[in-house]
Amino acid sequence: MKNFPIFIYFIYLTTIGFSQNKVEVKETPGISSGAKYALMLEEAIKSGRADNFKVSKQYTPFKRIESTEAITTYEGINFDEDAANGDYYHIPPDPIGAVGPNHFVLVANTSIEWFTKSGTLENSQRLGMNGSSSISGSFFESLSPISGTYDPKVVYDQYNDRFVVVAVEQESASFISRILVAVSQTSDPNAGWYFHSINSAIVVGGSTSWVDYPGLAVGTDAVYITANMFSFSGNGYTGGRLWIIAKSLFYSGGAATVTVHDHITLGNGYTASYQPAQMFGSPPAGVGTFLVLYSGLSGLGNEYVHVIRVDNPLSSPTFTGQDVTLGNIDNTTGFYRNAPQNGTSNRIATNDRRTQNAVWRNNTLWTTFTVVPPSGTDAGEVTSHWVGISTATLSSLSVSDQGNIGGESIATGCYTFFPAISVNSNNDICIGFSASASTIYPGCYYTGRLSSDPAGYTINPGTLRAGLDYYYRTFSSSDNRWGDYSGVCVDPSDDETFYVCNQYAISRGTILGSYPTQDGRWGTVFGVVPVTALPVELSSFTAEVLANEGVQLDWKTENEIDNYGFEVERMQTNLRDTNWVRLTFITGHGNSNKPRYYSYIDGNALYGKYIYRLKQIDNDGSFKYSKKVNVDAGVMPFDFMLEQNYPNPFNPVKKIKFVVKKSESVTLKVYNILGKEVETIFKGVAEAGRTYEFNFDGANLSSGLYFYTLKSGSFNSTRKMLLLK
């Protein structure tokens, strides 16, 4: 009997203690960039230094540019325009957007804007009180805002055809923290809004705490807001909370019914940032939403996503947590670096690994965050990562698909960060993200995959808006803040087209007197990404030199939609003539959801340096170019080459080719059997290494034997050809 307690203790360690401690969060949540700036500004106002951040009347306005991207884009608010709305300059942008049937709504830092789908700006205003003691004119005016807001979010509720907006505010001296919420009365943001404020100054972990970094999502019957909590005393992290707002009264203008929950404790969770999943369609019975966490969750050589299922949200909420194994995808013991950028040694802040957003549809939960891959082409670089989690069996969630979004096709050593993900009715996904490298400026990009694509596959990233300059703006902080998030949503009009919202570095300017070395400026942009922008997608395009035969091109598509075919184009780089030459056309497969393989041999590229590209053409005539491949076919081992004509015998047309090692004057002539000149095919300077090919037409000649001769000052060569009619 004396050993019995010891035996029980051993069972406890192996079944409970080990399962709880095998996984740990590598990153404790830090204060968001928006909150850091809000605290900085609050302190500046109290100490009389607010003029350091006030709007300057002397600045060079950003000249908007015409879109040069392959997709349709619309310019949103920028650094100077946001300041004009609220009296103070703000960093970072914190941009996110949502699209409805006829409008898209953008929130960025302290401003809100909405546009028609044709890009017409209909409203731009500050969210809270900000630099003026007057609340008049602010979006949340009816809630009597007490300061400038930060960390705004917006989503479109496809269940009820409404926009939902959230922002937070705090005043540390008075222990005030509030979540400000608004819902549009219809799908038209001009038709009015209902507003509600939530007192978020609550005791968490024994300390009165304020709210930061809200997550926002909607389900069938409720609005969900998650947040990190920080103590008013010392700004230390104290935990997380979830607010559930019943739609019924709130959406009709009545007093909102709100409950608050400690989802981390109730869901056996971790002390890090959870994001609620935006829900689509009919969820499993009783399920309200899913709360998703990454933040470097790691243990036993693997990384994990933690998912908390929220059941019965409006009656008696329950929280069920599970670890979902990802495999070894992240070097959580290595350095998490800021991103390099062109033109400066100042790096762009990539923040941390926290979950960026989540969305659920058709029994799959999708989420995004950043990792530092332990191997592969992106090893050691901060890289966006996406995950699909099957919820078909609620008690046993599992990864159905996942992959990195590498930036090497954008630029060498490119970091990708602040991703966002959305899914449409076909289960196609689109991901927007930021990117920067030592050879490019910070910009925004997108990628995606069709539901029929191979596991782990996404298209090579497309450009939403490339950066125009380098970015450096820290004010009194040590961080060159960028982010903290971006947005992607699906258009409810067709439930297929995606809208991507993000930021990019615009031209530098607007120097404030207190910060003479800081002139970075941010801009925001919306991009429309139809599903047709995802295929046709080349997964490979290669070139190989074949001895004495030319260059063989091979390419592969993973899927095709409306693909008419490919034109193969070539440029010879060692010549003065650098025009692209069309070589041939290869018919495509139209519509295909499986890999297709193509090949072409350029028999004229025997010697010299060449560049090849493919012009992919749709059935409607629209087209796009592939990446380029470079080939060095070497130097001729002899002074010239006059090839045997083909076909031989011929009737009535034959091809004649020659190439010379050095540039010189040559002639190519055809003679009959009596030595009489029949035709001069070429006379002039032949470029070194270039293959010259001509069609000789013998339609007006008699059958018989003919000779063609290539002559120059250094060589003379003759070959025979036989014309048979």
Question: Does residue 81 sit within a domain?
Answer: yes
Residues 129 and 181 in one domain: yes
- Give the distance, in angstroms, between the CA of residue 579 and the centroid of all CA atoms in the same chain: 33
- Does residue 308 register a pLDDT over 90? yes
More confident residue, 535 or 364: 364
pLDDT bucket at 571, cuts 50 / 70 / 90? confident
Alpha-carbon Rg of the chain, whole angstroms? 32
- How much is the average pLDDT of 62-70? 56
Q: Measure the CA–CA gap between 121 and 358, rounded to whole angstroms.
A: 29
Question: Does residue 7 sit within a domain?
Answer: no
- How much is the average pLDDT of 515-532? 90
Q: Look up the domain containing 565 and give its range.
A: 537-632
Question: Does residue 22 sit within a domain?
Answer: no
Question: 598, 632, 666 — which closes off a domain?
Answer: 632
- How much is the average pLDDT of 122-130? 91
Quick one: tokens of 408? 């090497």
Residues 556 and 693 in one domain: no
* Range in 335-339, 344-348, 369-373, 460-464 the model is least confident about: 460-464
Contact call for residues 661 and 677 (beta carbons, < 8 A): no
Q: Element (H or E) spanning 240, and its range?
A: strand 237-246
pLDDT (0 to 100) of residue 265: 97
Quick one: tokens of 490? 């699906």
- Does residue 320 register a pLDDT over 80? yes
Question: 466, 497, 530 — which closes off a domain?
Answer: 530
What CATH number does residue 702 fall under? 2.60.40.1930
Residues 387 and 295 in one domain: yes
Residues 289 and 194 in one domain: yes
More confident residue, 293 or 608: 293
* Range in 303-317, 405-419, 601-615 the model is least confident about: 601-615
pLDDT (0 to 100) of residue 98: 98
pLDDT bucket at 626, cuts 50 / 70 / 90? confident
- How much is the average pLDDT of 104-122? 95
Residues 511 and 547 in one domain: no
* 379-388 residue pLDDT tens: 999 999 999 9
Question: Does residue 147 sit within a domain?
Answer: yes
- Specify which residues 358 forms β-bridges with: 277, 367
Quick one: tokens of 338? 């800021």
Question: Does residue 11 sit within a domain?
Answer: no
- How much is the average pLDDT of 368-373? 97
Q: CB-based burial of residue 132 (10 Å sphere; 0-12 exposed, 13-18 middle, 19+ buried)?
A: middle
- How much is the average pLDDT of 145-171? 95
SS3 563: strand
- Does residue 103 register a pLDDT over 80? yes
Residues 503 and 593 in one domain: no
pLDDT (0 to 100) of residue 18: 33
> 647 preceded by cis ω (within 30°)?
yes
- Does residue 434 register a pLDDT over 70? yes
Q: Measure the CA–CA gap between 310 and 321, rounded to whole angstroms.
A: 9
pLDDT bucket at 127, cuts 50 / 70 / 90? very high
Are β-strands 275-279 and 357-361 bridged in parallel, bridged antiparallel, or unpaired? parallel
Quick one: tokens of 153? 């979010």
Quick one: tokens of 113? 């804007």
Question: 581, 601, 632 — which closes off a domain?
Answer: 632
Are β-strands 162-171 and 150-157 bridged in parallel, bridged antiparallel, or unpaired? antiparallel
Return the closest-CA partner of residue 617 out of 588, 580, 582. 588
- Look up residue 338 and give its DSSP letter: P
pLDDT bucket at 12, cuts 50 / 70 / 90? very low
Q: Measure the CA–CA gap between 29 and 235, rounded to whole angstroms.
A: 11
- Does residue 311 register a pLDDT over 80? yes
Question: Does residue 483 sit within a domain?
Answer: yes
pLDDT (0 to 100) of residue 198: 98
- Does residue 321 register a pLDDT over 60? yes
- How much is the average pLDDT of 123-134? 82
- Position 629, amino acid: V
Residues 671 and 626 in one domain: no
Q: Measure the CA–CA gap between 499 and 492, rounded to whole angstroms.
A: 11
- How much is the average pLDDT of 108-136? 88
Residues 346 and 401 in one domain: yes
More confident residue, 161 or 570: 161
Q: Measure the CA–CA gap between 211 and 31, rounded to whole angstroms.
A: 10
Residues 436 and 289 in one domain: yes
Residues 120 and 233 in one domain: yes
* Averaged pLDDT of the chain: 88
Q: Measure the CA–CA gap between 262 and 403, rounded to whole angstroms.
A: 31
pLDDT (0 to 100) of residue 20: 45
> For the chain, percent helix, then strand, then coil, each to nearest 5?
10, 50, 40
pLDDT (0 to 100) of residue 14: 29
Question: Does residue 24 sit within a domain?
Answer: no
More confident residue, 546 or 48: 546
pLDDT bucket at 678, cuts 50 / 70 / 90? very high
254 phi and psi, to 5 degrees? -85, 180
Whether the model clears a pTM of 0.95, i.e. scores above it, the answer is no
- Does residue 67 register a pLDDT over 60? no
Contact call for residues 170 and 211 (beta carbons, < 8 A): yes
Q: Positive or negative CA dihedral for 343, 418, 125, 189?
A: positive
- How much is the average pLDDT of 516-522? 94
Please tell me the total count of domains within the chain. 3
- How much is the average pLDDT of 341-357? 96
Residues 471 and 598 in one domain: no
Question: Does residue 590 sit within a domain?
Answer: yes
- Look up residue 16 and give its DSSP letter: I
Q: CB-based burial of residue 125 (10 Å sphere; 0-12 exposed, 13-18 middle, 19+ buried)?
A: middle
Q: Measure the CA–CA gap between 104 and 117, rounded to whole angstroms.
A: 6
Q: CB-based burial of residue 399 (10 Å sphere; 0-12 exposed, 13-18 middle, 19+ buried)?
A: middle
- Reported in sequence order, the residue ranges of 377-520 that DSSP labels E, i.e. its strands, are 383-390, 398-405, 415-423, 429-437, 440-449, 462-465, 487-490, 498-506
SS3 263: helix
- Does residue 273 register a pLDDT over 90? yes
- Does residue 295 register a pLDDT over 90? yes
Residues 646 and 558 in one domain: no
* 207-261 residue pLDDT tens: 999 999 999 999 999 999 999 999 999 999 999 999 999 999 999 999 999 999 9
- Position 636, amino acid: M
* Range in 336-345, 389-398, 545-554 the model is least confident about: 545-554
